[in-house]
Amino acid sequence: MKTKPTIQTTTRTASGLTYTTGFALAVVSLLASANTLKASSHSDAPLIKLDPQANLTDVYAFVRKRPTGEKVLVVEVNVHPFCEPGDGLMFDAFSSDALYSIHITDPNTGVDDQRYDFHFSDVSPEKNGYKNVDTILRYGRGSEIGPIETVGDARQNFTQSYHVTKVVGDVSTQLDEGVKLLVAPPNVGNNTTPKYNDADGNPISGATARAELDPYTFQTTYDLAGGNTVFCGMRDDSFFADIPGVADLLNSRILDNNGSLSDGLGQDGKGVDGFKGYNVLHYAIVIPISQLKQVKYTGALQPESKGVGVYASVSRPRFTIRREIGPNKDSGSWVQVNRLGNPLFNEALVAMIDKDTYNRTSPTSDATLFAKYANTPELAALINATYSTNFQTDNRADLVGIFIPDVIRVNTTTDAVRTPGEDGFKRLSFIGGDTIANSNGDQIPSGWPNGRRFGDDVVDIALTALASGPSFSTITIVGDNVNGNDERYNQTFPYAATPHSGTNNKKDSK
C-alpha cells in the first residue's frame, strides 16, 4: 500500500506571493486512473485517438518582436502524437484530406475574427509529389541517389507542399499567392538529411536567429507578401511530462528523488519524459499584431487588458469514398474532428461522455456545454478522497476563467515575452516570478495562462492552479519531476526544436 503524501509547509516569498512548496504530484496518478491525462492533449478523446494525422497535441501562442522591432503573434501547432523518428520507409506526412486551421478569436466569447487554413498536397504516388515511383525510398532516391542537400532536390523523392488561406467572414485570401510552399523533410539520418544533425547524428537546435537554423528549416520558413511568416514540417515533440511513471500506478521515480522534502516533491527534475525522442507534425504562422482585432478581456490571474484568443482545429471532408484502385475520393463540406486551445482541458477535466462532443463543437459552446467541468473539477474530488487533501471542488471561478471559452488568451499589449534560453525565463511562468507589464503597467504572467510559450511547464502550472485556487493567496506547488524538454528550443521562428533523427534518437528511459 502506498503511503499518502502530505503537503509540506516550507514557505518562501517571490513576487509578492506566499508559496507553500509541497507535493501533490500524486494528483497526477489520479488522472491516469481516471483515464484522463495522457499528455497535454495527445490522447484526449476516443474517436480522435483513431485518427493520429488529425490529432492535435499542443498549441503555442505568444508575443515576440521581429528584428525590425515589429510586434507579432507567434502561433505554432503540433499534431500527430508520437511520430516515430525511425518510421521508414514512409515517414509521417500531413493528410491532404484534412484542413489544419488556426483560429484567432474574441477572447471573451471564442467567436472567430480570422482563421488561417493550411491545406497540404496528396501523398499518393498517383499524384505529382514524387520524382520516382519505382523505388522503395521516399527520401534519398528521387532522380538521383544520395543525401538531400536542398529541400526538393533530385535526391528527395517525395516533397509535400501546401497553401495557406486567410479567412475573415466570407472573404478568403490565399496568402501564398499560388506559390507552392514546401514542407520540411523528416530527419531521416546523417546519410540522407545530414544538414539536420551534427557529426554524431544529434539534431542541431537552439538557433537564436533565423540564419542559425539548419538549412532545411531555414529554406522552408517563408515570409509571405501580406506580412505573415509560415513554416510546416516535422519537429521534436515539445511537450514534456513523466506520463509513463504516472501510468505505472505512481512509480516512485515521480515522487521524491533526492530524499529531501525541503524543495517539494515533484520538483527535483529526475522524472522520465515520456515524449523524449518523439517527433510531431507541426504547422505555424507569425501574424503582425497590427493585423489583429484586440479586444478587452479579464483573464485568469490578470487584470483587464486587451488581446486575442487562439485555438487550433482539424477538419475532414464529410464523405470519403474508398476505391479499390487509385486514391480515395472526398466530397462534401469540412467537418471538424478535433480542436485544442488550452493544454489539458479536454483530457484532464471533461468527462468521457463529452470528450468527442467537445472536439466537434466550437469554443462559443463552451460556456453552455463544458463550463461545469471547470467549475466543479472531478479531479480535485479524487485527490481529496485519495490523499486527504482539502482542495476546493466547487465554485472554481478561477478555473472557469482559465478554460472557458477554451481559447488561449494572449495579452497583445505587452512587450515580447521571454523564451527558453533567454535571461529571466521561468518554466513556471508567474509562479516562478516570470511576469511582464501590460499596457497599464500591471505585472501579468509571461507564460501560460497568458498565452503559452515553449518551455512553459503546463502540467506543473495546471496542477498548482488546481491545488491553490480559487484565491491563490497561498500557492501550493505541484509537479511531476520533469522540468524541461529533451531538446533545446529555438529562440527564433519556428521555435519548436529540430526533429529527432531516424537513426539516432533518444526514446529510452535512461
SS (H, E, C) 167-235: EECCEEEECCCCCCEECECCCCCCCCCHHHECCCCCECCCCCCHHHCCHHHHHCCEECCCCCEEEEEEE
Helix, strand or coil for residue 111?
A: coil
Q: Is residue 412 very low, low, confident or very high in pLDDT (cuts 50, 70, 90)? A: very high
3-state helix, strand, coil in the chain (%, to 5): 20, 25, 55
pLDDT digits (tens, 9 = 90+) for 82-126: 999 999 889 999 999 999 999 999 999 999 999 999 999 999 887
pLDDT above 80: residue 6: no
Report pLDDT for 507: 64
pLDDT digits (tens, 9 = 90+) for 278-287: 999 999 999 9
Report pLDDT for 260: 57
Instruction: Identify the weakest region by mean pLDDT among 231-235, 254-258, 326-330, 466-470.
Output: 254-258
Q: Is residue 269 very low, low, confident or very high in pLDDT (cuts 50, 70, 90)? A: confident
Reported as type and span, the H/E element at residue 72 is strand 71-83
Mean pLDDT of the chain: 87
C-alpha 90, offset from chain centre: 24
pLDDT digits (tens, 9 = 90+) for 65-77: 999 999 999 999 9
Say which residues have a Cβ less than 8 Å from residue 205's Cβ, sequence separation at least 6: 236, 487, 488, 489, 490, 497, 498
Q: Is residue 16 very low, low, confident or very high in pLDDT (cuts 50, 70, 90)? A: very low
Q: Is residue 252 very low, low, confident or very high in pLDDT (cuts 50, 70, 90)? A: low
β 329-340/56-65 pair status: unpaired
Record the cell numbers describing residue 61, joined without a space: 501562442
Please give the backbone phi and psi of residue 11, each rounded to the nearest 5 degrees, phi first.
-125, 140
Report pLDDT for 300: 66
pLDDT above 90: residue 480: no
What is the spatial distance between Cα 495 and Cα 76, in angstroms, rounded to a whole number?
Answer: 8
Q: Is residue 34 very low, low, confident or very high in pLDDT (cuts 50, 70, 90)? A: very low
Average pLDDT of the segment spanning 479-495: 94
Residue 420, preceding peptide bond in cis (omega within 30° of 0): no
Say which residues have a Cβ less than 8 Å from residue 179's Cβ, sequence separation at least 6: none
What is the spatial distance between Cα 84 and Cα 95, in angstroms, rounded to a whole number?
Answer: 17
pLDDT above 50: residue 14: no
Number of other CB atoms surrounding residue 304 within 10 Å: 11
Record the cell numbers describing residue 360, joined without a space: 466537434
Comparing 469 with 11, the larger pLDDT belongs to 469
Comparing 163 with 463, the larger pLDDT belongs to 163
Report pLDDT for 128: 82
Residue listed under C-alpha cell 525590425: 68
Comparing 302 with 228, the larger pLDDT belongs to 228
Write the DSSP symbol of residue 329: E
pLDDT above 60: residue 478: yes
Q: Is residue 31 very low, low, confident or very high in pLDDT (cuts 50, 70, 90)? A: very low
What is the spatial distance between Cα 192 and Cα 39, in angstroms, rounded to a whole number?
Answer: 32
pLDDT above 80: residue 506: no
Residue listed under C-alpha cell 493585423: 291
Instruction: Identify the weakest region by mean pLDDT among 89-98, 378-387, 457-466.
Output: 378-387
